[in-house]
């Protein structure tokens, strides 16, 4: 079943740089997809467009049949006051390279924060927060603060925060970029478990050749904003 349909999408920044050219592709529900390519290939821009952090100049992006390319930047700034944005945020999680944790909040508080913003009830917040923390293997550090955690553990908290609302789609922008090879593979094992056990579709932008080659997942190759290859099981290509 198709989860995302991207059709003839072009994204040009105000400085005249075109990051994505006439891009079309389809991503199935439950898939694990690597988006790879060199610097400036359009990897991060593609994820931002799917997440509506960047508007597009032309084309359509549909997520579960909802045309998210019609959500304007004004509506995004209104955030959860806008019904379309609220509906999108309930179905989508995002993980960044730099964790973005609340430094004075515990592991539990960082993960629960997402549910609190969405206005969930206390019992639901506790149940889902504990489930997400256990899934990423940090139940024993639930009361720790970010500065008491390793880089890999902080990224696990960021992943738990992104999945606590049980999104259909998880976007990961270079989630292992700040980690050593061993910690990177630990994070990949966590993401693979989320993909398999929860059925969450994962799209991950990365430049890590070893991860892509070892995981043998679906691969989208971008070059200068163009789609040059989309294969079901592939390896890293420049």
pLDDT per residue as tens digits for the range 27-74: 999 999 999 998 889 999 999 999 888 889 999 999 988 888 877 555
3-state percent breakdown (helix, strand, coil) of the chain, nearest 5: 40, 25, 35
User: What percent of the chain has a predicted confidence (pLDDT) above 90?
Assistant: 74
Q: Which residues contact 25 (CB under 8 A, 6 or more apart)?
A: 6, 220, 227, 230
Confidence of residue 200 (pLDDT cuts 50, 70, 90): very high
Q: Which residues pair with 2 in a beta bridge?
A: 28
Cα gap 136→153, rounded to integer Å: 9
Confidence of residue 171 (pLDDT cuts 50, 70, 90): very high
The number of residues making up the chain comes to: 238
**Nearest partner of 28 among 232, 221, 167, 215, judged by Cα:** 232
Cα gap 207→235, rounded to integer Å: 12
Q: Which residues contact 13 (CB under 8 A, 6 or more apart)?
A: 19
Confidence of residue 83 (pLDDT cuts 50, 70, 90): low
Read off the pLDDT of each residue in 132-158 and give the average, rounded to a whole number: 96
- CA 70 to mean position of chain CA atoms: 20
**Which pair of structure tokens corresponds to residue 72?**
């304007």
Cα gap 214→206, rounded to integer Å: 13
Angle between helix 122-135 and helix 181-198 axes, rounded to 10 deg = 130
**Which pair of structure tokens corresponds to residue 83?**
């019904």
Q: What is the pTM of this model?
A: 0.92
Cα gap 88→108, rounded to integer Å: 24
Q: Tell me the domains of the chain and their CATH numbers.
A: 2-231 (3.40.50.300)
């Amino acid at each position: 079943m198709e989860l995302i349909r991207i059709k003839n999408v072009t994204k040009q920044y105000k400085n005249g740089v075109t990051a994505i050219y006439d891009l079309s592709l389809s991503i199935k529900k439950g898939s694990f997809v690597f988006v790879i390519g060199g610097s400036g290939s359009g990897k991060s821009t593609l994820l931002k467009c799917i997440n509506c952090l960047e508007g597009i100049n032309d084309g359509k992006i549909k997520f579960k049949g909802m045309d998210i390319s019609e959500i304007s930047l004004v509506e995004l700034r209104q955030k959860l006051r806008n019904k379309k944005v609220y509906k999108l945020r309930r179905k989508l999680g995002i993980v960044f390279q730099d964790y973005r944790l609340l430094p004075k909040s515990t592991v539990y508080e960082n993960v629960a924060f997402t549910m609190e913003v969405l206005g969930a009830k206390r019992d639901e917040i506790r149940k889902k927060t504990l489930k997400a923390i256990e899934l990423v293997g940090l139940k024993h550090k639930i009361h720790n603060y970010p500065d008491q955690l390793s880089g890999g553990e902080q990224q696990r908290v960021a992943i738990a925060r992104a999945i606590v609302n049980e999104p259909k789609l998880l976007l990961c922008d270079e989630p292992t970029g700040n980690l050593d090879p061993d910690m990177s593979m630990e994070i990949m094992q966590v993401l693979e478990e989320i993909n398999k056990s929860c059925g969450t579709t994962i799209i991950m932008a990365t430049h890590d050749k070893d991860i892509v080659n070892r995981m043998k997942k679906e691969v989208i190759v971008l070059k200068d904003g163009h789609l040059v290859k989309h294969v079901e099981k592939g390896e890293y290509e420049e």
